C-alpha cells in the first residue's frame, strides 16, 4: 500500500506573524509538532483544521485537496478531530451531551473507536452527567479529547491536549491513547512543548521555530539534535521487558544484548517492547568496567562524536550502542582527562532514576 | 370603558404580530451583523439604529409619504389587497417593524457576538455545517438575547405613540392603540379613564420586565 500523506505548503500571515514552510507528513502513527511558544504550532493546527480563512496555503490530504489558491474545504467537511488547548466544551450541554454531539455527527460507515472504549480510556464515566462548567481543567481536556475521538476523525489534531491533566494520569494516558489510535489506524498530529511527551508519544517530529516549518525527523534522530536549542538533549532507546524482580522492586530490560534494571515494577507484560527516554545529563562515561559504582546500568558503546558546547563547561558525547543512539553530557575537563576520541570503546553509565518508560 | 377594550385588543395584536415578524427578519440581520467582516457593516448598523434617535414624527412622516395610496408602494398595496396601507392595521404593522427594529436587532447581535468563534469552531470541527451550528450551538447559547429582544420589541411596540398617530390616525378598532386612547382621554379631560390606562401600562410593563430579569438570572451568560 503506498503510504498516504498530508502535503502542506503554507504562507499564512496573521497580524504581523507569518507561518511558512512545507512538509509531507505520513498519515500513519503520531507526528509530534514541537517548538517554543509563539512558534506557530497552534496556527498550523488551525490551518489544517480549516479554521483560518483567506490564507495562502495548499493542503492535500491523501488524494483530496483541502485547500489551494482557488478553494478551501470548510472545516466541517474535512472530518478531522480537534482537541483544543482550551477544551471548548459546549456550556449548554452536559459532558454526555458534548459526547453525543460529536457522535451524532460522526461519519457513518467507518468503524472508529467505540464510545465505551473512549469513556473507559479517558475515565469519563463518573463525569458523564456533570455540567461542563463545574469541571476542572484536566477533566475538561479529557472530555474534549473524548469528544474529538467520538467524531470518528480521519485525522486527529491534538493541541496540547493533556496539558492540564496531572503528570501521573498523563503518563498512563498517552501510551493507551497511542495504542487506541494505532488499532483504529487514526493518524494524529500532536502539538507539545514537552520533550518527554513527544518522546513517549510521537513516531516522528515536525519542528517549528519562529514561524518556520522545519524538517520532519524520526523521534530517535530528533532527540539527539536538541542540544543548543535550549532543550535538554537526550536519546530514545528501545528495549524489551525481560523480568520483574519483586524482592528488589526492579524491572529488568533487555537492550542491545545486555540487561539494565529500572526501579519500580512495570505493569507491562514480559516481552513488551518499550521506549526509554534518557537525558544526556543522566549518562556518564567510563573507559573500563568499574565495579565499585552505585550506577548499575552499564552498556558498552562506541564513541561516535564529541560536540563541544561552547560557552559552557560541557560537551555532548554521541554514542552508538549496537545501532542505537545515546548522548552523554560530561564536562570538557572529564573528556580531556579520559582522552576521549571518536571510535573509542567506552561504557555508558545510565543512572537508573533517569529512565522514563512507555509501552510501544 | 367601551372604547378601551378594543384599544387593548388592537395594541396586543399589533405588538404580537410585530414581534413575531421581527424575530423572522431581525435574526438573520443580527447574525449577519455579528459575523460579517464586510466594510458596509457600520453603515447597516447605523441604519438599523436610526429609529432609536430619530423623532417618531420624522419616521411617521416618511412612512406616510411612502404608504399613501398615491405613492408606488401604497398604490401597489391597494391593488393587491383592496385596502390602503396608511390609516390601516397593515400600515401600523409596517411602521412598527421599522421603529422597533433596533430593539430586536441590537440584543440579538450582542448575544450572537457573545457566543464567540471558539464554540462555533469546535462545532465545525465536529462536523456541524453552518445551519446545524446555528441551531445546535448559537440558538441555545443566545436564549437570553432572544428573551430580551422579544420583550423589548413587544413593550416598545405597545408604547409607541408618534409614529402610530401619524401613520394610523385615530380610528377606533382599526388604528386606535392604547397610547392614542390615553391621549384622547386626556384631551377630553376624562382623567379617570386615563388613570386606568396609564397605570395599567406601567403595571404590565413592570411585570414583564421583572419576568425578563428573572429569566435572565436562570440562563446565565454562556460566554467562555
B224 lies in a domain?
no
Provide the 3-class DSSP secondary structure of residue B169.
coil
A122 grid coordinates:
479517558
Provide the 3-class DSSP secondary structure of residue B51.
helix
A155 lies in a domain?
yes
Q: What is the pLDDT of residues A257-274, one digit of tens each?
A: 888 888 776 666 777 777
Mark whether A179 and A211 lie in a shared domain.
Answer: yes
Q: Decide which of A168, A197, A224 is a domain's last residue.
A: A224
A207 lies in a domain?
yes
**Under a CB-based contact definition with an 8 Å cutoff, are residues B59 and B163 in contact?**
yes
A137 at interface of B, judged by CB pairs closer than 8 A: no
Q: How far is A51 from chain B (nearest CA, A)?
A: 7
Q: What is the pLDDT of residues B170-185, one digit of tens each?
A: 777 787 888 888 888 8
**Under a CB-based contact definition with an 8 Å cutoff, are residues A176 and A267 in contact?**
no
**Under a CB-based contact definition with an 8 Å cutoff, are residues A283 and A274 in contact?**
no
> What is the predicted pLDDT for the residue at B221?
55
Q: Domain span at residue B15?
A: 4-218
Mark whether A109 and A138 lie in a shared domain.
Answer: yes
Minimal Cβ distance to A88: which of B122, B132, B136: B122
> What is the predicted pLDDT for the residue at A359?
43
pLDDT band at B164 (very low <50, low <70, confident <90, very high): confident
Number of Cβ atoms within 10 Å of the Cβ of B126 = 29
- Choose, out of B36, B114, B122, the residue to mutate when testing the contact with A (most A CBs < 10 Å): B122
B223 lies in a domain?
no
The structural domain count of chain B equals 1
pLDDT band at B220 (very low <50, low <70, confident <90, very high): low
Q: Decide which of A197, A224, A251 is a domain's last residue.
A: A224
Mark whether A75 and A181 lie in a shared domain.
Answer: yes
Mark whether A172 and A293 lie in a shared domain.
Answer: no
Q: Decide which of A192, A224, A256 is a domain's last residue.
A: A224
A100 lies in a domain?
yes
The DSSP bridge pattern shows strands A56-61 and A5-14 to be antiparallel
B44 lies in a domain?
yes
3-state SS string over chain A? Answer: CCCCEEEEEEEEEECCEEEEEEEEEECCCEEEEECCCCCCHHHHHHHHHCCCCCCEEEEEECCEEEECCCCECCHHHCCEEEECCCCCCCCCCEHHHHHHHHHHHCCCCCCCCCHHHHHHHCCCHHHCCCEHHHCCHHHHHHHHHHHHHHCCCCEEEEECCCCCCCHHHHHHHHHHHHHHHHHCCCCEEEEECCHHHHHHHCCEEEEEECCEEEEEEEHHHHHHCCCCCCCCCEEEEEEEEEEEECCCCEEEEEECCEEEEEECCCCCCCCCEEEEEEEHHHEEEECCCCCCCCCCEEEEEEEEEEEECCCCCEEEEEEEECCEEEEEEEEHHHHHHCCCCCCCEEEEEECHHHCEEEEC
Query: Is the pLDDT reported for residue B127 higher than 50?
Result: yes
Mark whether A196 and A308 lie in a shared domain.
Answer: no
Q: How far is B120 from chain A (nearest CA, A)?
A: 9
B139 at interface of A, judged by CB pairs closer than 8 A: no
> What is the predicted pLDDT for the residue at B149?
94
Q: What is the pLDDT of residues B27-64, one digit of tens each?
A: 999 999 998 888 999 999 999 999 999 988 898 889 88
Q: Which residues of A touch B136 (CB under 8 A)?
A: 101
The structural domain count of chain A equals 2
Mark whether A77 and A177 lie in a shared domain.
Answer: yes
Kindly determine whether residue A151 and residue B125, on different chains, have CB atoms separated by under 8 Å: yes
Mark whether A49 and A107 lie in a shared domain.
Answer: yes
Q: What percent of chain B has pLDDT over 70?
A: 96
- Give the domain CATH number at B11: 1.10.3720.10
- Give the domain CATH number at A120: 3.40.50.300
Mark whether A71 and A168 lie in a shared domain.
Answer: yes
Mark whether A314 and A199 lie in a shared domain.
Answer: no
Q: Domain span at residue A46?
A: 5-224
A229 lies in a domain?
no
Average pLDDT over chain B reads 87
A148 at interface of B, judged by CB pairs closer than 8 A: yes
Kindly determine whether residue B126 and residue A148, on different chains, have CB atoms separated by under 8 Å: yes
Q: How far is B141 from chain A (nearest CA, A)?
A: 7
> What is the predicted pLDDT for the residue at A37?
83
Q: What is the pLDDT of residues A3-22, one digit of tens each?
A: 899 999 988 888 788 899 99
Q: How far is B142 from chain A (nearest CA, A)?
A: 10
> What is the predicted pLDDT for the residue at B2?
62
* Enclosing H/E stretch for B86: none
Residue found by looking up cell 389587497 in the block: B81
The residue ranges of chain A whose pLDDT is under 70 are 1-2, 226-231, 265-268, 352-360
Alpha-helical runs (H) found in chain B? 4-35, 41-53, 56-67, 72-81, 89-99, 101-125, 130-133, 139-141, 143-159, 162-168, 178-187, 191-218
Amino acid at each position: 500500500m503506498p503510504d498516504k500523506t498530508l502535503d502542506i505548503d503554507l504562507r499564512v500571515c496573521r497580524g504581523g506573524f507569518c507561518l511558512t514552510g512545507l512538509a509531507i507528513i505520513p498519515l500513519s502513527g503520531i507526528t509530534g509538532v514541537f517548538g517554543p511558544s509563539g512558534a506557530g504550532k497552534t496556527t498550523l493546527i488551525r490551518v489544517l483544521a480549516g479554521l483560518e480563512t483567506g490564507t495562502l496555503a495548499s493542503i492535500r490530504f491523501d488524494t483530496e485537496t483541502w485547500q489551494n489558491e482557488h478553494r478551501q474545504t470548510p472545516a466541517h467537511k474535512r472530518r478531522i478531530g480537534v482537541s483544543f488547548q482550551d477544551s471548548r466544551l459546549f456550556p449548554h450541554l452536559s459532558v454526555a451531551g458534548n459526547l453525543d454531539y460529536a457522535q451524532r455527527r460522526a461519519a457513518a460507515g467507518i468503524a472508529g473507536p467505540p464510545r465505551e472504549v473512549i469513556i473507559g480510556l479517558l475515565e469519563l464515566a463518573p463525569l458523564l452527567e456533570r455540567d461542563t462548567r463545574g469541571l476542572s481543567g484536566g477533566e475538561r481536556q479529557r472530555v474534549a479529547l473524548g469528544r474529538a475521538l467520538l467524531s470518528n476523525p480521519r485525522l486527529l489534531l491534538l493541541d496540547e491536549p493533556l496539558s492540564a491533566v496531572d503528570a501521573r494520569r498523563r503518563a498512563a494516558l498517552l501510551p493507551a491513547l497511542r495504542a487506541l489510535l494505532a488499532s483504529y489506524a487514526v493518524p494524529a498530529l500532536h502539538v507539545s512543548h514537552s520533550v518527554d511527551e513527544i518522546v513517549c508519544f510521537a513516531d516522528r517530529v515536525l519542528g517549528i521555530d519562529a514561524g518556520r516549518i522545519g524538517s520532519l525527523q524520526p523521534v530517535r534522530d530528533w532527540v539527539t539534535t536538541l542540544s543548543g536549542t535550549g532543550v535538554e538533549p537526550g536519546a530514545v532507546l528501545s528495549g524489551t521487558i525481560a523480568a520483574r524482580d519483586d524482592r528488589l522492586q526492579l524491572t529488568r530490560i533487555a537492550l542491545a544484548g545486555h540487561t539494565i534494571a529500572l526501579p519500580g515494577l512495570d505493569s507491562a507484560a514480559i516481552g513488551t517492547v518499550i521506549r526509554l527516554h534518557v537525558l544526556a545529563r543522566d549518562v556518564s562515561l567510563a573507559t573500563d568496567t568499574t565495579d565499585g559504582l552505585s550506577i548499575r546500568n552499564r552498556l558498552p558503546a562506541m564513541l561516535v562524536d564529541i560536540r563541544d558546547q561552547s560557552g559552557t563547561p560541557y560537551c555532548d558525547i554521541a554514542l552508538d550502542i549496537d545501532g542505537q543512539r545515546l548522548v552523554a553530557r560530561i564536562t570538557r575537563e572529564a573528556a580531556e582527562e579520559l582522552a576521549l576520541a571518536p571510535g573509542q570503546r567506552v561504557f555508558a553509565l545510565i543512572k537508573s532514576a533517569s529512565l522514563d518508560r512507555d509501552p510501544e | 370603558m367601551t372604547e378601551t377594550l378594543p384599544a387593548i385588543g388592537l395594541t396586543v395584536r399589533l405588538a404580537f404580530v410585530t414581534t413575531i415578524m421581527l424575530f423572522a427578519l431581525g435574526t438573520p440581520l443580527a447574525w449577519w451583523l455579528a459575523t460579517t467582516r464586510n466594510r458596509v457593516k457600520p453603515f447597516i448598523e447605523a441604519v438599523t439604529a436610526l429609529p432609536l434617535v430619530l423623532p417618531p414624527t420624522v419616521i411617521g412622516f416618511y412612512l406616510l409619504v411612502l404608504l399613501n395610496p398615491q405613492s408606488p408602494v401604497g398604490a401597489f398595496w391597494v391593488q393587491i389587497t383592496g385596502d390602503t396601507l396608511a390609516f390601516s392595521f397593515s400600515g401600523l404593522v409596517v411602521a412598527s417593524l421599522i421603529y422597533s427594529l433596533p430593539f430586536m436587532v441590537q440584543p440579538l447581535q450582542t448575544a450572537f457576538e457573545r457566543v464567540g468563534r471558539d464554540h462555533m469552531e469546535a462545532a465545525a470541527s465536529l462536523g456541524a455545517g453552518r445551519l446545524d451550528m446555528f441551531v445546535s450551538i448559537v440558538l441555545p447559547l443566545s436564549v437570553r438575547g432572544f428573551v430580551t429582544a422579544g420583550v423589548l420589541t413587544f413593550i416598545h411596540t405597545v408604547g409607541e405613540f408618534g409614529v402610530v398617530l401619524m401613520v394610523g390616525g385615530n380610528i377606533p378598532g382599526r388604528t386606535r392603540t392604547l397610547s392614542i386612547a390615553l391621549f384622547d382621554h386626556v384631551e377630553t379631560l376624562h382623567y379617570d379613564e386615563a388613570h386606568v390606562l396609564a397605570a395599567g401600562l406601567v403595571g404590565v410593563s413592570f411585570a414583564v420586565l421583572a419576568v425578563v430579569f428573572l429569566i435572565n438570572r436562570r440562563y446565565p451568560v454562556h460566554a467562555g
